[in-house]
Amino acid sequence: MSPAQTNLKDLNSRPVQLLFHWLSPSNSLVTTCAPIVLATLVFAVLLGLVRIKVAAPQFKMASKASWMLLPASANGVSWALRAKEGGPMLARYEPTEWQGYAPLAQESLLATRLPALAYGPSLRPLPGIPLAQAQALADKGEAVLPRRVPISAARQNLPAGRLAPALYPLSALGTSSLPHDLPTFTGEVDSALAATDWRFLLRLHPDGGVAEAVSLTRATGTAAAPLENWLHGVVFDPKLAADGGWLAVGIRFNNSPANGTDPH
């Protein structure tokens, strides 16, 4: 083995000597924080020394001018024209400054303008129309409009009316199930009888006749007797008797002709 190889092995086996032991474990807080504090101070010093100033360039216009006095000659006019052409406000030809502009413009306008034709309508004689003369509406003291004769219609003599009882359903019974042919009420209908809201509970025979009529209206015992007798003459549909035989109906009084006809 050569001496060079021996020295290389010795260098590899030696521990690395560092200024700060970054990788070696340490139980001391000062040893761990001292490198961090030192590096922070160095970075702050370097940051304070470097100053970079970026500012926009400022352009300043030179506050000075020059003037030239040109003679009133052809050479002076030429120099003035060259100075004007070289400046920001270029010279241009203005047609209105030409002396022949106004006559030329007037001639061009007259050449393009259409001649105005005067309109003269031709008149034709109209035939004479006789004027309407004022007409008298009516003579003095007479009516302007004719008299209106009312149309006389034959008066229809309606039969004398009377109050007659009519039925309306109170239970689950339709109006179509009530009888249409009712017996004639023979009793006297006074104001007290017609103004009372009469309600009855009926028990039917198997053939549809009324077997029993019980008044549900608070009244005297004899006040409901004419209506009870009238209900015994009413005949209902036998199907209603087969369903149970009990019905609840009400009675109201309607005005009907005395002879039983319909005036309408």
What pLDDT digit, counting tens, does each position of 41-91 carry? Answer: 988 888 888 777 767 777 676 677 777 788 888 888 888 888 877 777 776
pLDDT tens digits, one per residue of 135-151 = 667 777 777 787 887 77
**Using CB atoms within 10 A of its CB, is residue 246 exposed (0-12), middle (13-18) or buried (19+)?**
middle
| 88-116 pLDDT per residue, tens | 777 677 778 888 888 888 888 888 887 77
Give the C-alpha separation, 214 to 221, whole Å: 11
CB 170 within 8 A of CB 248: yes
On the question of pLDDT at 264 being above 50, the answer is no
What token pair was written down for 168? 């309306």
Domain boundaries, the chain: 3-44, 161-256
Distance of CA 229 to the CA centre of its chain: 67
The CA radius of gyration of the chain, in Å to the nearest whole number, is 67
Tell me how far apart the alpha carbons of residues 209 and 183 are, in angstroms, rounded to a whole number.
12
